[in-house]
Every structure is written in C-alpha cells, then in structure tokens.
Structure 1
Amino acid sequence: MVWFREDLRLSDNPALHAAARQGRPVICLYIHMDGRNGERALGGASRWWLDKSLKALSRDIEKLGGQLTVRAGDGSACLDAVIEETGANAVYWNRRYGAVERETDATVKSRLKDRGTDAQSFNARLLVEPWVLKTGSGGFYKVFTPFWKALRGCYEAPAALPRPENLSGPTPDTLGIDELSLHPKSPDWSTGFDAMWQPGETGAHDRLKAFLDGPVDAYPSERDIPGKEDGTSGLSPHLRFGEIGPAQIWRATRAAMESGRVSEDSGWKFLSEIAWREFSYVLLYNRPDFADANYNSDFNHMPWRTDKSALKAWQTGRTGYPIVDAGMRQLWATGWMHNRVRMIVASFLTKHLLLHWRDGEAWFWDTLVDADPASNPASWQWTAGSGADAAPYFRVFNPITQGEKFDANGSYVRQWVPEISDLPDKYLHAPWTADKQALSKANVRLGENYPEPIVEHKAARERALGAYETLKSQRANA
C-alpha cells in the first residue's frame, strides 16, 4: 500500500516506485485527515487545489489500471481498516517535516511494525533532508546565503524514478472525492481560479516546460515585475502538493543549462528560489512552532497593535495604497500573489499598520493555493524582522516607490484596481497627490469609489521605527 499525502504524483515518487518494484499488487490510498491529530487544517484555497489535484491523481492511477482509494478520519485507524480489507503486508509513504506530522508518522510506523507490517518512508519533498547539511560548528543553517552555497556545492540530483507501468490491485471501498467537500460552496469564491491554474501532475510539468522554454531567461530581472505574467514559474502550488518534486525541477533546469538553452545566471537564480523553500523546511524542522512563535524571541516584546478595521482594509484591498490593494485583490481572485508584492503587503501590515505577522500569515494560509507550512511562516517572519536571516528592522518598504519601481507602467495596478485605472502614471501609485482636475477626469473620488490612505507613510514609518526602539529597550531590561 502506498499512502499518498503531500506527494500527489506518479513519476519520481520514491514511495510509489519502491512499492511497484516489489512486483506485487499496489493499493493507492489517500486519507483525508485535515485538522486531525493536532495537524494544521488546510485553508480554503488549499482545499480547492487539493480537490482538483486528487481528481487528477485519481484519473492518472485509473489509466494504469488502479484505483485511488479515499478515506477520511484518523490516519492510523484508516490504515488498519484498509489493511484488514485487503491483506496488505507493507505500507510505504513519503515523509512530512512538521513536528506533529513527524510524531504521527513515527507512531504509525511503530504500530505497523509491531503487527508485522513492513513500513518504510522516503524523501519526495526536498532536495536534501533538513538534518543533513550542517554548519562548521555542527548546527543547522540559520542564514540563507551560506546554506545555498553549501547546497549548491554538494547536491547532485539522483536518477529520476520512472512512473509505474501498472497499478492494478485490490479496490477496497472508497469515498468519492466530492464527498470530502473541498470545493467551496455558498458562495463559491473560487470562480477566478480555473482560468489560472491546472492542478495535477500534468499541469505541473506543463508549467515547468513552458517556463524553461523561454521566460526563465529573463527571470533575474523580470521576477520582480508583477505585471509580467510569465515573470515567475508559477510552480509553487504544484510543489506544495507534491505534483512535482524539487529534484525534478533541478534536473530539468540543470539539463537546460548544460544544453545552452538556459543561461547559467538565469538557471542558478531560479534554483536559488527552490533553495529558499528548502531553507524554510530546515527552519520548520528545527523550530516546529514556526507558524506561531517568533523565531527571534526578542520579538516577544514587540508592541504590536490590534486594529480590526485596519486588518479588514488590508485583507480586502482597501488600504488606499494601490500596489498593496492590487496584491490583496489578486490574492482573493486567483489564490496567488506575485512574490515582490507579497513582500510589499507583508511589510505594510507589520510595519505601516504595526499588526502582528501572525495575522498576515493566517490570512495567507487561508487564501493562498500555495500556502506552505514552511515557506509561509518563514517569509512572514523574514519580512517582520523576527525570523532567521530576517530583513533588518529598519527596512520599511515604501509602497509608493515600490509601485513606481516595479509597476512603472501601471499594468498591475490597473488590472486589479480598475477604479483608478484612468489616472496618469505619475499619480497612479499615490492617487491622493493628484489634483482635482486629474481626479475628476479619471472619475476617481477619494473616500468614495477608492479609499483615502488608511495611514500616512511617513508617520507610519516613524511609528514602526519607534516600536522597534521600544522593543530594543524592553529586551535590554528583560
């Protein structure tokens, strides 16, 4: 039996390959355990993706003569039930790295072995297991650049594992995927997702191929331009659900570099972003409370504010800062946000509004299709200043100049904030600076059809820096 979790693919899947290699019938099992055993429940956008990804996996398995058996409930109890029904004498799976997940898997493995069932786990999710790379002093890496240098210097992708040729086997009773109620209803807020995404292994490889066939060449310069549709790979949700593995991306990119199709600079820049995900998993593995607690405990003294109306304005894209609002609206409409804009909106929440990074991390967890248990908190803590290798506390992104620099022609803001689309470029990222004639001509009525800024940039920056000074003084007196 192969127990699928965050590895929803058939090719280059170590657990599935090991099972198929035994030459015995294979049972493909997915257990929906969302929120059970202390695990973090998936957010709404991730549930939407999972629904489509499971259906794609099920179709792929059926083409090979098999069945994806779906159960819901406690993982150990469901495994026991399927073993009892089928007589399976071995269970294989790929590892997870959160503390609760590791504890669950260790308990399951111990129980299976005690009853005489072969239980084996494999790495399908990372290039290198998070306990492998060590610093000179023997600890884990807490700074990305030396981690990336070490990884790049030692990693060689293993040979690709082929997709099984046949997956016929027992077909125990199964739930229909629709019975898991993963797709949103009443209302269905996901209507904009289908146009952007093709969940599943095929969609993942199509994305990778399309990216390596051209857009990757401009990646170092265009990855920061949110209005550039193919400036990034769009692979993050596929990685999140294991529809493609990082080793597959590494192999394909290196092959393109070696053949001359992709430049060295572009290829390595792209792979360094894959490595940031790896670094995030090192942090999660060593700090299991990463999504809840400050990595840097000094930030326990940070005087965060509580402001429900400001949080709501940020969540709904009504802050009065166009680049921030564009990002938050893109997130709601598509389940994704451009990486540069993620940094801008995160800085705005934690520094302009002085709201806790956990508020932002929780919102992203619910609304991102690529909400990852390691990358999401790592990125939020990096921006807030509380994380490993964090951005310096005094870095407060200016949403006006960030918009002018990275959305110079205004295409991104005009797409997502159409009510100000007729403003000239020079006013687009700061509508309140426009004169009455320009506002009237563009049909922009500040405070009516587009909000006034909910906070003034200079004052907000000074407040944030003052809060960090308070943090330092409290730390000194602690």
Structure 2
Amino acid sequence: MSASKVSSVVHWFRLDLRLHDNLAFRNAINEAENRKHVLRPVYFLNAEKINISGINRLRFLLQSLQDLDDNLRKINTRLYVFKGKAVDCLPNLFKQWQVKFLTSQVDIDPEVVEQDEAIEKIAEELDIFIVRRVQHTVYDFNAVLRKNNGSVPMTYQKFLSLVQDIQVKEVIYINKQISDCCKATDFDCKDFDVPFLDQLIANDRTNLSECKYPGGETEALKRLDMYMSKKEWVCKFEKPNSSPNSIEPSTTVLSPYLSHGCLSAKLFYHRLKQVENGRTHTMPPVSLLGQLMWREFYYTAGAGTENFDKMVGNKICTQIPWGKNPEHLKAWAEGITGYPFVDAIMRQLKQEGWIHHLARHMVACFLTRGDLWISWEEGAKVFENYLLDYDWSLNAGNWMWLSASAFFYKYFRVYSPIAFGKKTDKDGLYIRKYVPELKKYPSEYIYEPWKAPKSIQTTAGCVIGVGYPKRIVEHDKIHKENIQKMSQAYKVNKERKAMKRPRS
C-alpha cells in the first residue's frame, strides 16, 4: 500500500451496515464531493471478537459486510475491510491517507467508548475533524437522559412518558452516484475485500447449520416489507401470545438486522406507525412497536449507567451472592441439563444463533434465580457468543431483568422448565427437533423423560442417564430454596441502602 497524496474523508462503518438512514455516511459523501477528497468507507474486523463469536454470528456479519460492499459499489464506491482493532489501524491510516474528516456513529459499549476517546485524541493532534451521529436507535438516548434530569428511567412506562412528545425524524436514503473524483487509486485492490468465512476460522465447518437468516441490508428491507404487508398480523401482535417453541419463528426475527445496523430502528418505527395509523392495534408493551421501545429503554439505561453489564459497581443492580458451578454452567450452555425444554432452547441457540424472546426468559431464569443460582453475567457471556442479535445494552438489561437484579423484582415468579413449554407445544415437537435423542418418547414423558418407565425408555431408544443426561437439579425443590435466597439478598440490599441514606 503506497501512501496517498490526496486528502481523504473516512466513514467508519460499525453498527450502521446500511445505506438508508445513515446521516453520518451522507455527511462523509458531501464532504468528500465538496472538497474533491477521496472517500473511504471502512470496517475493522476485530480478531479478538471473531475468536469468541459463534460461527452463525460471524457468518451473518460477513454476509452483511458483503451486501454493504455490493450496495456501495452501486453508488460508485466500495468498502475497505481491515483485520484488526480500529484503535490500532486508524492512526496509520490517518497519515497514509491524509485523512481530514472522519464520520461514524455513536455507540455506548464501554470498550467502544474507550476506543473512541483514544482515536479522538489522535485525530485532534492531526487536525482531523470528527462527526458522530446517533443512528442506532430511534431516540437520542443522551437527550432522553437529559430530559429526565440526568437520571435513568427505571421503568418502561417512565421511559415512554419521556419520549411520547419527541418527534422522530424521517429516514434519509443514499442512492445518488458518487463522483469519480472521490475514488482512490487502490479502489480495485483485492486486499480490502470482505473475507470469506473459511479465511477467518480454522475450526470444522461441517456442523454449520443451514443459513435461516442471511445477513445484510437487502435481506433486512425484504424481511421488513414482508412483515409490514401483514397489516392485520402486525396490529394484533401481542408478545405474550407468541410461541417460544414453534418450529418456525412466531415473531419477525428482525432483531439481528437491527443489532448489526442492517435495518434502521427509525425506519422500523415509521413503518410500524404507518401500519397502525387508522387501525385498531395492540399497545406497548406487548405490541410490535412496544418491543422496539424495549430496545430504546435498555439503550437509555445502558447509556446512563456505569458498569451496566456487571453486577459490582452497577448502582441499579441488586447485589446477589450468586454461586459458582462450572459443571452446571457448561451443562446449561451445551444443552445437557436433563430438562428437555431448556436443552432444546440452548441447542437451537448454538445451532442457529437465534431463539424466541420467551425462550430466552426460560433459560435465563433457569440459570439464575430459578434453578442453578449462577450469575447472570455468565449467561450474558454465552449469549454474547452465540446470539445473531447480540446487543450490549439489551443483553445486559434483559439478563438483569430476568435474574430479578434490576427492573423486575417479582423474583418469586419462576418459569417452570416443564409447564411453560407445554402451554404452546404439548406434544414436544420443538424438543423432538432439537433434542433428537428423545424424538421417540411418548408426549406424556417428553418434558419429563425421567418419569418414563424403563421399558418405555428402552423402546424409545434412549435410557435416561445413558443416552440423555439425568436432571442436574430437581426444579420443584431447588427453585423454592432459591426464592428464599433471593428474599434474603433483597433484605440485605435494602438494609445497605438504608445505611447509606443521609440522616436528617
């Protein structure tokens, strides 16, 4: 790579892998064309993140990057992909490309914030102008916090009251051809192409499942159009009435596209409003729009809370003396707990990278306050590795909620790993798909195979303790003990808060 003598404008794609609703990128285009600078859209593949990501998530990311590159080429530019951390790569690129202007989006992940601060310092020394836009959410979370006097709204309803009169701007689209003068001399260099999956991972790909949800803006908009055309379905959608164990998803599965930035949350908001306009429809929190607002709620909480993804040092999180049991954690993560419904969910997560939100409720409660008494932070790490729609703020917020550490405090309401799944799938079709060892079990025993007589186990071809594990805990007994532990933890936290209050 030879040093460039032409000044450059760089747009750093991160969680905005799209051309629609990308004001930061349009700012970069305008700056490059007005000043006759080279335009360089870049993306950095962090090797550390690749090493911990599940293969499904990595595949989704690469598909999204390839689609982004394809769409960029349609408007006469391209994506430059680099392997490494932005904080390590950008300082050299600043000098090599004679960068004068850098645009990107605002993020709240502490690792990213720390990286941004380091890059800003370097850019300032080199007299590089930086523009960052809030474009991963419907609302500017910092503006919402200011509206609440700098405090985090601790309830969903409080959040809704804060944003009810905020007007959401219309979505912009970038489709105009970019001037040839903005092309770099290395435009056709293959070194910057989006890598293939097998170029990044060395492990066996034979277990890679069928790609159910291809990544990219093109697929995101196609999926959005498909669901928004089902106006009656959208208007009648109620979160509690969707099925966590249907073989085909009973929700939109737009979350991976939102989390990677292939779909703008603002566009989703406007399309939902269009469908609801003039029609009778369900309301937040159970409506589809309500689901989008949960995302906004957690982003606002994450932006305003130090150590949001940890228990210690997190002012909104109840301090609970969770236990440590590596064997139980591993059994949960690999789907071998002996509870078929829990195991089916965790295996679907590992195989496909996505599980229904109510299924997430089930396994999160099981890991934490329900059965295993293991910290929600451990569960959050597993979800980070495997979820296609992993999102820093939503992951931490949901885990705190489901472990009754914050936002939700009815810790005595515990999901049953037996009864909950039966409500929507009494014959266990979901279990038979993801826990095939049990596929020949009678429906009577599919959720509780340990209750089947030995003769039935043998006939079904799977003896418990041999072909499928015994239960690692007894739910009926352990969840009652854990409720008592939670009660004690709440009592201790209440006493601590009382001691910290200033005396009058």
TM over 0.5: yes
Q: Where do 1:90-109 residues align within 5 Å?
A: 90-109=101-120
Give the whole-Å Cα distance in 1 for the aligned partners of 2:413 and 2:50. Answer: 31
Distance 1:87 1:166, change over 3 A: farther
User: Which residue matches 2:216?
Assistant: 200
- Counterpart of 1:345 in structure 2: which amino acid? V
- Counterpart of 1:44 in structure 2: which amino acid? G
Residues 216, 266 of structure 1: 8 Å contact kept: no
Give the whole-Å Cα distance in 2 for the aligned partners of 1:41 and 1:95. Answer: 25
Superposition RMSD on alpha carbons, in Å? 2.8
Matched, 1:44 2:57: no
User: Which residue matches 1:304?
Assistant: 322
User: Which residue matches 1:465?
Assistant: 483
Secondary structure of the residue aligned to 1:132 is helix
Distance 1:356 1:182, change over 3 A: farther
Matched, 1:254 2:291: no
The aligned length equals 469
Specify which of 72, 75, 83 is matched with residue 72 of structure 1: 83
Give the whole-Å Cα distance in 2 for the aligned partners of 1:285 and 1:156. Answer: 21
User: Which residue matches 2:425?
Assistant: 407
Distance 1:130 1:423, change over 3 A: same
Give the whole-Å Cα distance in 2 for the aligned partners of 1:105 and 1:161. Answer: 25
User: Which residue matches 1:322?
Assistant: 340
User: Which residue matches 1:187?
Assistant: 204
Give the fraction of aligned pairs with identical amino acids, expressed as a percent.
25
Q: Where do 1:63-462 residues align within 5 Å?
A: 63-76=74-87, 78-134=89-145, 139-151=151-163, 153-167=164-178, 168=180, 169-172=183-186, 174-178=191-195, 183-188=200-205, 191-192=208-209, 194-214=210-230, 215-217=233-235, 219-220=237-238, 222-227=241-246, 229-258=248-277, 260=279, 263-265=280-282, 269-294=287-312, 295=314, 299-300=318-319, 302-351=320-369, 352-387=371-406, 389-436=407-454, 438-462=456-480
Give the whole-Å Cα distance in 1 for the aligned partners of 2:382 and 2:85. Answer: 27
Residues 227, 412 of structure 1: 8 Å contact kept: yes
More off after superposition, 459-468 vs 164-173: 164-173
Distance 1:183 1:213, change over 3 A: farther
Question: Shift of the alpha carbon at 1:13?
Answer: 0.7
Residues 148, 162 of structure 2: 8 Å contact kept: no
Residues 51, 182 of structure 1: 8 Å contact kept: no
Gapped runs of 5+ residues in structure 1? none
Q: Deviations over 1:259-304 (max 9, x none)?
A: 75xx52179711111111111111221223222225467743x332
Distance 1:407 1:288, change over 3 A: farther
TM score, norm. by length of structure 2: 0.85
Gapped runs of 5+ residues in structure 2? 1-9, 497-504
Secondary structure of the residue aligned to 1:264 is coil
Give the whole-Å Cα distance in 2 for the aligned partners of 1:435 and 1:150. Answer: 57
Q: Deviations over 1:410-443 (max 9, x none)?
A: 2222221222223333322222233445444433
Distance 1:266 1:188, change over 3 A: farther
- Counterpart of 2:26 in structure 1: which amino acid? H
Specify which of 34, 44, 47 is matched with residue 31 of structure 1: 44
Distance 1:131 1:59, change over 3 A: same
Secondary structure of the residue aligned to 1:413 is helix
- Counterpart of 2:42 in structure 1: which amino acid? L
- Counterpart of 1:455 in structure 2: which amino acid? V
Question: Shift of the alpha carbon at 1:468?
Answer: 1.8
